[in-house]
Structure 1
Amino acid sequence: MRIAVAGGTGVVGSVLVEQLRSSGHEVVVLARAAGVDLMTGSGLEHSLDGVEAVVDVLSVATSAAGRATEFFTTTTRTLLEAEYAAGVRHHVLLSIVGIDEIPFGYYVGKVAQEHAVEDGKVPFTILRATQFHEFGAQMIDRAPSIGPVLLVPQMTSAPVAASEVAAELARIAGGVPQGRVPDLRGPREESVPSMTRRVLRKRGSRRPVMTAFLPGKAGKGMRNGGLVPGDGATLGRQTFDEWLEAQA
């Protein structure tokens, strides 16, 4: 089967590409590194020839609602138009648990992206997942700091292995469109500041981590479990500690 992966060089995208290829699928990577710019459509012509399913795992480094919304809606509409023209039968979108309850800028963009998929002409499946185990490490690079002190927002998550998310996306892509499917989460709830601190200690760093409490509805939702799905979610197997222990 010929499957395209939009964002195939990212955290989950690169794992997905590897899994699909090892399963015998022909994979087309849609990313700037592969010469495709989905904001403009440059390099997309003929890339979807013969493609049966497209998996969108694109991301953008911003917390601004306007920029996130522009990025996700533009890339999604560009993809969907090209998919419809090429006869692609299935669009698979990876989204995030809790985005419609927490008005954080990036999540506002993801909600708009889901709506764009739902309004498009290509049959689709949307999978929402919790944060990846790598999220704690990403906080080291993204969170603000005061001197050496890293300020990490108080967030409760149920982190899941990127490899398990990729496996579920690969399974979905090989099947029929299903609309919205059950959320995917990790087996244990974790505090994101604690995750970040444990990653630093694993790396041999004693850098201090301070918990920051974000204001408003978004901060309250993050603190109170808005990023953790309710009953009916699919449960991943690998815990954050197991993932951390496996890191070099």
Structure 2
Amino acid sequence: MRIAVAGGTGVVGRHAVEAARAAGHEVVVLSRSSGADVLTGAGLAERMQGADAVIDVTNTTTLSAAKSVKFFETATRTLLAAESRAGVAHHVALSIVGIDGIDASYYAGKLAQERAVAAGSVPFTIARAGQFHEFAGQLLSRMSGPVAVLPKLLMRPVAAREVGEHLVRVAEGAPAGRASDLVGPRNEVLADVARRQLAIDGVRRRVLGVRLPGAYGRGLASGSLRGGADALQGRITFDEWLRGDDHLPS
């Protein structure tokens, strides 16, 4: 197969690219650095020629619902238009488990993305996953000072490597509308995993977990982002990931 990965240089994208190549597929990376822009459409159709499937793991960093919706709707519609012109037969979009009742902040964009994919003309599969093991470190890296304030979040984190592998398996199959959700092997609390990461990295820093207001905060604290009992479970625990090669110290 020829598989194009939109966002193929990112946290999940690089693992999807690695997994696809390991499985013997021809891989095309869609990123600005490779001359393809998912927002403007520049270079997309040319690089997609001959692709059997496109895996979309593009992302934006924002807590603004308006900005998130604009990014994901624009990127999705631009990708789907290019896929239609190139004759791509399967669009695979990465989303997040348990967000149906949290149409706010960043998650509003992911729900908008799902709706745009479903409304498009390209056969699709939406694959939802839990927060990544990498998530706590991403948040910590955006804060300075001796105290890190993190939202109260009940989650079931999964390694980005396993998410990338899962997306390739989904792309290898027929379009299914929705794939089985993928979550990690253990329930966790965001502040707790952040403390363990700082400890193993040898960083002295206090972590506070606070309940955020509104629908977004309620959703984070509700446990819905842990996924359902029927979700597929990854193998790598957060603590195993901390000791592995994919974890880069703070």
- Give the TM-score, by structure 2 length: 0.95
Map Cα deviations across residues 32-87 of structure 1 (whole Å, 9 max, x no partner): 12111111011223111100000000100111111111110111101101111111
In the other structure, the counterpart of 2:107 is 107
Q: How does 1:20-39 map to 2 (within 5 A)?
A: 20-39=20-39
Asked if 1:172 is matched to 2:159, the reply is no
Consecutive aligned runs of 4 or more in structure 1 exceeding 4 Å deviation: none
Which residue, out of 209, 217, 220, partners 2:218? 220
In the other structure, the counterpart of 1:237 is 235
Letter in 1 for 2:68: A
Asked if 1:93 is matched to 2:93, the reply is yes
Displacement of 1:23 in angstroms is 1.7
| Contact map agreement 1:102 1:226 (CA 8 A) in 2 | no
In the other structure, the counterpart of 1:64 is 64
Letter in 1 for 2:200: K
Q: How does 1:4-15 map to 2 (within 5 A)?
A: 4-15=4-15
Distance in 2 between the 1:40 and 1:210 partners?
40
Distance in 2 between the 1:214 and 1:24 partners?
45
Map Cα deviations across residues 162-219 of structure 1 (whole Å, 9 max, x no partner): 1111111111111100001221100101010111111111111111111121012221
| Contact map agreement 2:45 2:83 (CA 8 A) in 1 | no
| Contact map agreement 2:92 2:126 (CA 8 A) in 1 | yes
Distance in 1 between the 2:218 and 2:157 partners?
19
Q: How does 1:40-55 map to 2 (within 5 A)?
A: 40-55=40-55
- The alignment of Structure 1 onto Structure 2 pairs a total of residues equal to 246
Distance in 2 between the 1:104 and 1:236 partners?
27
Q: How does 1:200-215 map to 2 (within 5 A)?
A: 200-215=198-213
Distance in 2 between the 1:182 and 1:231 partners?
11
Displacement of 1:225 in angstroms is 0.1
Provide structure 1 residue ranges, at least 5 long, that are not aligned to the other structure. Answer: none
| Contact map agreement 1:16 1:163 (CA 8 A) in 2 | yes
Letter in 2 for 1:212: V
Distance in 2 between the 1:21 and 1:141 partners?
30
Provide structure 2 residue ranges, at least 5 long, that are not aligned to the other structure. Answer: none
| Contact map agreement 1:39 1:74 (CA 8 A) in 2 | yes
| Contact map agreement 2:45 2:85 (CA 8 A) in 1 | no
- Give the TM-score, by structure 1 length: 0.96
Task: Give % identity.
Answer: 54
In the other structure, the counterpart of 1:183 is 181
Letter in 2 for 1:133: H
| Contact map agreement 2:103 2:111 (CA 8 A) in 1 | no
What SS does structure 1 have at the residue aligned with 2:243?
Answer: helix
Displacement of 1:231 in angstroms is 2.0
